[in-house]
Each structure stands twice: as C-alpha cells, then as structure tokens.
Chains A and B, each alone.
Chain A
Amino acid sequence: MAARRAPVGPMLARQTWAEFLKLWRVPAFSITSLVLPVMFYAFIGIGQASEEVSPHVTFGAYFLASMAVYGVANVMIFSFGISVATERGMKMDVLMRATPLPPYVYLLSKCITAIVFAALTLAVLFPFAYLAGGVRLDPSAWVTLATRVLLGSLPFIALGFAIGYLSGPNSAVAVINLIYLPTAFASGLFFPKQLLPDFIQRISPYLPLHFFGQLGWDAIGAPTSESVSTDWFYLAGYGVAFFVVALWAYRREESRKFS
C-alpha cells in the first residue's frame, strides 16, 4: 500500500520548480521584485552614498539595509499573496486538491520559491550597492545582513498567505500595495522617521517592518532603538499573529469550498 504514494522529495522539487517558473515568467512580478529595490537605491542611495549617517556608517550602507528589507519583504508578501489569490480565482486549488499532492508540499514549495526569489533580489542589490554605491562592509556584515533579512522575512510569508486567502484575485495587488507601501514609508525604509508626520512617528515603533528594518540597520553597524533580541521577539510575535490569521483564512476557505 505504501508504495502507491509518490516519494515526497521529487514531488517537492518539481512543485518548487513549477512555482518558480510561474513567478519568473510573469514580468510584472519578477522584474519589479528584482529591479525596484535597485532602482530606488539608484535614485535615493547613490547620490549621498558616502555621507555618514552615524559614526563609521555611510548612507550607502544604511540605505542598502533599508532596501534589502524592503525588497525581501516585498517578495514574500507579493509572491504568496498574489499567487494564492490568483490560483483560488482560477479554481486551480480544486484540481490540486483532487490530486495526491499533499497540501503541505504545495505550501512548502511556495515558501521555498519565495525565499529563492528573495535571495535573488539580494544577489542583484548587493553587487549594485558595492559597485555603484561604493559600500564597503566586513564580509561578516554582508553575511549577517543577508541571513537576518532572509530569516526575518518569514513572518511576511504568513502575511502574504493570509492576504492571498482573504482577498480576491483582482483585489490582492491593491490590498497589498495599500498595506505594504504605507507601512514601508512609516517604518522609515525610504526616508528618516523624523520627517514623518507626528502621529505616524508614534505608530511607527510598533510596525512589523520597523522591527525588521532595525535588524537590517543593526547588521551594518547603525545604532537602533532596541536590542536585536527585542526586534526578533516582536517580529516573531507578528509572525505568530500573521500565521494564526493565515490559518484561520485557510480554514474558512476550506469549509466554504470543500465541505
């Protein structure tokens, strides 16, 4: 009986490859997620790259951390949110459900794909900052920045997943932009928080992207308002909260469509 099921390894590999191609071949996603952070870096970062924002920290390095956080979280939310919403809209989920593909393999393949895309974003952004922005960091700081940014993006996968199940295929992009862009600004990823309106400055320290940003800025040696462990703690808390919402949205969908 056991031999009747296909082995999970090759299934996961195929599914992940398919998920990757699905995103890669949609330029609206692949180009924007790879190019946008670099473009923002070119417009905002390069001009004043060598100026020091705090002792021994150049704006070039500081804004590299900002864009790494922005770009990676962007991939996580968009790749998940839009692909899930679209596939629900096309009733692809119904066909998948009738196959012997275990649901966890499907979800895992999407997570792996999102992480691979996020890593690609960094693979474009880092050399660009090094060459065009003249950013010089200790090798360990590059590694710390990359690992923190990839690890810290996991809560945003859960957020994207929740949005994918809560919004429709046509509204997912709008919903994500409405949530993501303003919070990116409010968390100081594009310009210093001191320039934000007063009430936003008061909300800002509680936003998930604020904690995520702090992890990035700390990695390149910039001073931050909380300790790294505090940032991780809050980010993990958001991760759990997003995950609970995602799970609730998933269950709701299950009971509507498949009961």
Chain B
Amino acid sequence: MTPAAQLIDATKRYGNVEALKGVSLNIELGEVVAMLGPNGAGKTTSISLLLGLRKPTSGKALLFGLDPDNLDARSRVGVMLQESGIPAVLKVREIVDLFRSYYAKPMARDRAIAMAGLEEKAEALVKELSGGQRQRLYFALAVCGDPEVLFLDEPTVGMDVEGRRSFIERIAEFARMGRTVVLTTHYLEEADQLARRVIVIDRGLVIADASPKEIKSRVAGKRVRFTAAGLTDADLEGLPVTTSTISDHTVQLLTNQPEAVLSELFRRGIQVSDLEVSGADLEDAFISLTSHRATS
C-alpha cells in the first residue's frame, strides 16, 4: 500500500542554512506519529515539504505517492500550521463552512465545531476569540474536511497546561477514528501520550525512529537527581553516566549503573541532598539522544 506520506532522502537548504540534511521516512495510514525535536531541528521544514509548502533542495516528498502540490493528494489532508492567519471579520461558523467547501466529503459543520469545543463561539467573529480558542478553531478547520491524514505543526504552542491537556485529548479522539495523525512538538509528554511512534529530529537529521517505550529503553534506565552546592563538570568527571546536566545547584545524571554512580559520589565526598533516583522518562531519553550528538 502507498504510504500516506513519504520523505525520500530529502534535504532542504535556506540560503546557507541546511535545515534538513537527508531525511527519509514513511508514514503509513493509521499511524499516529510525533516528530520531536528542539526548535530549529527541522520539524516544521519536514512538514512543509510533505505539504508542498516548500520544495526539497534534493530528494523527494510524496503525499499518497503523489506530488504534495497535487490537489487529489491535498484533498485527503487536513492541516494546522504555526502562525497562519485567518480573516478576523468572519464568524467561526462561516469560516468552518468555507473550509468544508474545499473537501469532497466534509464532516457536518456542527460536528467539526464540537470536536474543537467551540459550540458556544459558533457565532463569534474570529477577532473576538482568545488565543486558545483561535488555536482550537484552526483545529476545527483542519478536521472539518474529514481528512485521512491530519498534520499538526506545534498545535499546543502557547497554551497553558490545562488547555494543552484537553487539546491532546481532542487530537486523540480524532486518531481513534482510525485516522493518521502527524504532529510536531517539543513537548515530550504530548508525544508520549499520543503517539505510538516517535521520530526524533535534531539538526536536520532523524536520530531516532521508534515507539516511545523503545526510545526510553534505548537510553539510560535511571535518572539520578540531587542538589549540591558549587559543583562543576570537573567534579563529575569519570562517573559511569551517559549524560549529566547541572543547572543552579540541581544535578541530573542519566545512567545504567545508579549504585556505582552514588558510591563514587560519596567516595569523592560530594555533599548530596534531595537525592532522587527514578526511571528515565521520554524527556530524559530525548536529552540523552540529542546531547550525544552534541558531544560526538
């Protein structure tokens, strides 16, 4: 079966900046995929290539096996982009109807508005919406065509914790309808909650492509966190850790041998308080993956 979306050894250069350095990935129908990475890693560029908003410098981008500019391909896709505007003087209901008209078999208007939780704002003008409501309207516009694939570029950026949580639930609801969802995020918990597959992108390259669980297991199993005054990197030299970060007085170590790390710390006479040893989460995995590359 043709993959829903494909990058084949795609590179993208903006002037002197190489945003993508040869990325290949296949996204199959029905998958829920999170593209994860720090700002500037190449997530938005990857999505832009898949949507035909940008052309690859070399390599290929395909949507349903077609050029992403092809309207047959685009008709099967719903999109939520960062920083895109919509007319301020249209009502929510009007703009949802407008976007529905772009698709052959759209959802009922009220259903699209309900999926975004905007029932009470259907008659409001776009300019009267709050930032979070506007973000949800973009979601309504992305799903109103009842697309097979939903692309969401940093959908929860700028939302508070509660807003993010309920928004993730809305995306999950759409995914449960058996649809393909591709989202970029730098919120790791979002990827963990939603996706069955995580693609980690850093500096224009895919550095990991696996389930959240595998990614977590691939790196150090335990996180050691403690507080110590005046500690420098030199004090941690030679410890059996994969990564170490010191911010203010908080030290965080990722390791597969927490016992050895602790006994070495005590042997060196480092005054440790607020000691905490726990299983690494996706965020740790992510830090570990990206900082590996930074030092190698």
Residues of A participating in the B interface, judged by any CB pair closer than 8 Å: 1, 3-7, 10-11, 13-15, 18, 21-22, 25-26, 87, 89-92, 94-95, 97-102, 258-259
Contact = CB atoms under 8 A, between A and B. Distances in A.
B95 A18 contact: yes
Given A22-B89, A259-B54, A91 B84 contact: yes
A98 B83 contact: no
B73 to A, nearest CB: 9
A14 B85 contact: no
A18 B102 contact: no
Interface in B110-143: 141
Given A11-B101, A100-B145, 20 more contacts: A4-B75, A4-B76, A4-B104, A5-B75, A6-B103, A6-B106, A13-B101, A15-B98, A18-B94, A21-B89, A21-B94, A25-B89, A87-B85, A90-B84, A90-B86, A95-B84, A98-B51, A98-B79, A100-B74, A100-B75
Interface string B66-107: 000001101111010101111101100011011101111010
B94 A92 contact: no
A95 B86 contact: yes
Contacts of B203: none
Contacts of A259: 54-55
A122 B141 CA distance: 37
Contact of A3 (B81, B89, B104): B104
B156 to A, nearest CB: 18
Do most interface residues of chain B lie in helix, strand or loop, or is the interface mixed?
loop
Nearest to B125: A25
A18 B71 contact: no
B81 A95 contact: yes
Contacts of B270: none
A4 B72 contact: yes
Nearest to A10: B101
19 contacts: A4-B76, A4-B104, A5-B72, A6-B106, A13-B101, A15-B101, A18-B90, A18-B98, A25-B89, A26-B89, A89-B85, A90-B86, A91-B83, A94-B53, A94-B81, A98-B74, A100-B75, A100-B102, A258-B53
Contacts of A11: 101-102
Contact of A97 (B53, B87, B97, B101): B53
Given A3-B104, A4-B75, A5-B71, A95 B85 contact: yes
A110 to B, nearest CB: 13
A21 B90 contact: yes
B53 A22 contact: no
Contacts of A14: 97-98, 101
Contacts of B53: 94, 97-98, 258
Q: Top 7 A-B pairs ranked by shortest CB distance?
A: A90-B85, A95-B84, A14-B101, A25-B89, A100-B75, A100-B74, A98-B79
A3 B104 CA distance: 7
Interface of B: 51-55, 71-72, 74-77, 79, 81, 83-87, 89-90, 94-95, 97-99, 101-104, 106, 141, 145, 151
A15 B97 CA distance: 10
Nearest to B83: A91
Contacts of B151: 98
A21 to B, nearest CB: 6
A5 B97 CA distance: 16
A11 B100 CA distance: 9
Given A18-B98, A100-B71, A100-B75, A6 B104 contact: yes
Given A4-B72, A6-B75, A94 B102 contact: no
A92 B104 contact: no
Contact of A100 (B89, B103, B141): B103
Nearest to B51: A98
A226 to B, nearest CB: 42
Contacts of A92: 84-87
A31 B141 CA distance: 31
A99 B147 CA distance: 11
A11 B79 CA distance: 18
Contact of A94 (B72, B75, B84): B84
A94 B52 CA distance: 10
A101 B102 contact: yes
A1 B72 contact: yes
Nearest to B101: A14
Contact of B90 (A6, A13, A22): A22
B71 A98 contact: no
A94 B138 CA distance: 13
A22 B81 contact: no
Contacts of A26: 89
B94 to A, nearest CB: 7
Contacts of A95: 79, 81, 84-86, 141
A92 B99 CA distance: 13
B87 A18 contact: yes
B89 A5 contact: no
Contact of A99 (B83, B90, B99, B104): B99
Given A3-B104, A21-B94, A94-B53, A99 B86 contact: no
